[in-house]
Chains A and B, each alone.
Chain A
Amino acid sequence: MAQSTRPNRLFRNLNAKIAALPMIATALVVFIGFTVWTIVHSFTKSKLLPKLDFVGFAQYERLWGTRRWLVSIENLAFYGISSLVFSLTIGFLLACLLDQKIRFENTFRTIILYPFALSFIVTGLVWQWILNPEFGVQNIVRSLGFSEFVFDPLYNADVVIFGILIAGLWQGTGFIMVIMLAGLRGIDQEIWKASRIDGIPSWKTYIFVVIPMMRPVFITALVLIAAGIVKVYDLVVAQTNGGPGNASEVPAKYVYDMMFKNQNLGQGFAASTVMLLSVLVILIPWAYLEFGGRKGDK
């Protein structure tokens, strides 16, 4: 479509570019400027207030020598991978089930999507109560006669992260399902007809035809889930507040506690810089593969 006799590219769509200037400036100052500021201050020994008192990599050394941080990283990795896998799988399966032209589809869709309307704080509190041994699931099962039944994931350091994962999935999967459902509805009915004529079983059609066709939908879902993982904070604060002990700490909470509770900005900035780096390490190669190499491709 491009015409070869265009004038300077810079002045193309000038009005739109001028209109975008404030947003560009905001992005530059907020995203780039503040990020650089944070990184610079992570090399200082700032306490409650930022001061340019450089100490080299001391904050990073302390960071990687702190057990609580290591536990946080481990938890985030586990939570991240599990919630990615389970959200996509369960979301897709639910969407496929709803796509079978069942009765009361609207009702089911609403019920499954409903938790997404709740904030993480409410989700966290609800699941804190459900998983509380004194008045939650354990109590109900015990009152049915199984007096030895034990189910208290939030009070067991080894499995507490599962308790948080359950709550996170309960909240987020419905949304992924809706996106998947929209993707499935976008698949041309002709394809289904064709595969039926060829006698291909429907599960094979899903895996080998429909899923590859839904690639953009999967990418969208992936980005949404990934963004949710990195910033997981409020769910943990509401549900366990990092406990028992330090067993369910997450990096975002470490950053916050260091900055405001321990009054050690330098340490908090070092931790947040590491978080940013780890996101970039994953994001840059992926973005390069996705958008860089093959222009013109979808």
Chain B
Amino acid sequence: MNSLKKLLVATTAICSVTAGAFATDLEVTHWWTSGGEAAAVAEFAKAFNATGNNWVDGAIAGGGGVARPVIISRILGGDPMGATQLNHGRQAEELVEAGLMLDLTDIATEGGWRDIVNPTGLLDSCTVDGKIYCVPVNIHSWQWIWLSHKAFADAGVDVPSNWDEFTASADALVAAGKTPLAMGQQSWQSSGAFGVINVAIGGLDLWTKINVNKDAEAAAGPEMAKVFEAYGAARVLSEGSNVQDWNQATNMVITGEAGGQIMGDWAQGEFQVAGQTAGVDYTCLPGLGVNEIISTGGDAFYFPKNDDPEVTAAQKELAKLMISKPVQVAFNLKKGSLPVRGDIDMSTANDCMQKGLEILAAGNIMPDGNQVLSADTSGQIEDLMVEFWNDTSMTPAEAQAAYAAIIAEAD
């Protein structure tokens, strides 16, 4: 209940500017709390503590949807943390414009970030008016489905190699007492799965038209109707999956209780913690095996402005550290995400990460939903998708009409 306490403190605080109790203590807030994530964030902490500073962990449980409001209200309320995780893109746009974030341009130029960050789009998302305000730390892509070998073996069918085969094998899974598709109840999960199905079934052009150009006609069109049909079919497959958090859903795949899960590549960390091997215990299919593409969203760290020069120095130290070669390798191997720099050796990465690295090298990339849609629009889509997913009386056509209305209003 730590997060709720913080939230109360933050919302009631009346602009009291509090400097950290000790200059080199840096509180870092993030929402990495599952086993694999915690292991990854410990790599940052270890490297930072080795510099003589002190990493104060401010993990906020409950995922980005819960953590982001806490983080933002703390910054707005005048109680900034030393550093904080946020997703690239438009979430921090206004905070930067209001001058609440530390300008990192000097260390970015010094470290040559523009040359080493690959794809450069990640750094563009950190840039406002030519100045850099955040450190990208990893690339996360949503477009994966994770399949349990055990579940398919129990059901007596082969592990599918694409979405169509997966839906075709669903009956066998149900007959064997399995849930074909594991899905957590939180709204960002159903909304994320929708984005994945959208690109896999509808293709990138359609996705770009709707999400980047905000074309409401395309959103209401027949191409999109197919996407909604597929999404409606997926809803049927997930019946009986009552878990809340994404890692609980991943756990259903790990234990073979569920056939598969549509989830971003952060799920990989969970398989790793459970001691499973890609290709032997589980299979990952980028783009649902239909349309091999990955989005290049991810996590970045922002450093709220602080009056204390010692804190500022520590903040810059941490920023440099996060993008340095050894930390990037150590962090991303634990996290299951792709590194933000192309010049490091990732040969120790497993099967699934290698697939991702190949797709990245081939340039089959797309922007992440967070980079093109405002928090408001994403929130509305999340509300719609989670409602659709749980209210079986809502038809795909109704959902599509509501979706088109949201896109028409999007800014």
Contact = CB atoms under 8 A, between A and B. Distances in A.
B162 interface: no
A243 B185 contact: yes
Contacts of B390: 157, 243-247
Q: How large, as a class, is the contact surface on chain A?
A: 20 to 34
Interface string A185-206: 0000000000000000000000
B177 interface: no
Contact of A67 (B91, B93, B387): B387
A47 B390 CA distance: 29
B391 A247 contact: yes
Contact of A256 (B69, B95, B244, B386): B69
A133 B241 CA distance: 12
A205 B1 CA distance: 48
B383 interface: yes
Contacts of B58: none
Interface in B361-401: 374-376, 378-380, 383, 386-391
Nearest to B190: A245
Interface in B81-107: 91, 93-95, 98
B383 A68 contact: yes
B72 A263 contact: yes
A133 B69 contact: no
A234 B94 contact: no
Nearest to A119: B1
A62 B410 CA distance: 12
Nearest to A257: B379
Contacts of B389: 245
Contact of A261 (B98, B379, B387, B409): B379
B68 A260 contact: yes
Nearest to A128: B244
A247 B4 CA distance: 22
Nearest to A71: B387
Contacts of B72: 48, 260, 263
Task: Give the residue among B68, B186, B375 with the most A Cβ atoms within 10 A.
Answer: B375
A249 to B, nearest CB: 9
Contacts of B91: 263
A245 B375 CA distance: 19
Given A243-B185, A246-B386, A261-B69, A157 B391 contact: yes
A244 B185 contact: yes
A48 B379 contact: no
A218 interface: no
Nearest to A254: B383
B386 A245 contact: yes
Interface residues of B, number: 33
A38 interface: no
Interface string B172-215: 00000000000001100000000000000000000000000000
B405 to A, nearest CB: 8
A121 B61 CA distance: 15
A55 B389 CA distance: 33
B73 interface: yes
B374 A261 contact: no
B4 A263 contact: no
B51 interface: no
A257 to B, nearest CB: 7
Task: Give the residue among B68, B91, B94, B402 with the most A Cβ atoms within 10 A.
Answer: B94
A265 to B, nearest CB: 10
A105 interface: no
A262 interface: yes
A53 interface: no
B98 A49 contact: yes
A162 B242 CA distance: 18
Contacts of B242: 133-134, 152, 155
A35 interface: no
A246 B387 CA distance: 5
Interface string A113-157: 000000001000000000001100000000000000000100101
Contacts of A267: 376
A86 B22 CA distance: 52
Interface string A40-64: 0000000111000000000000100
11 contacts: A48-B94, A68-B383, A134-B242, A234-B4, A243-B185, A245-B388, A245-B391, A257-B69, A257-B379, A258-B379, A261-B68
Interface of A: 47-49, 62, 67-68, 121, 133-134, 152, 155, 157, 234, 237, 241, 243-247, 256-264, 267
The 4 closest A-B pairs by CB, nearest first: A245-B390, A260-B69, A262-B379, A48-B94
Given A49-B98, A243-B186, 6 more contacts: A49-B76, A133-B242, A157-B390, A245-B387, A247-B391, A262-B375
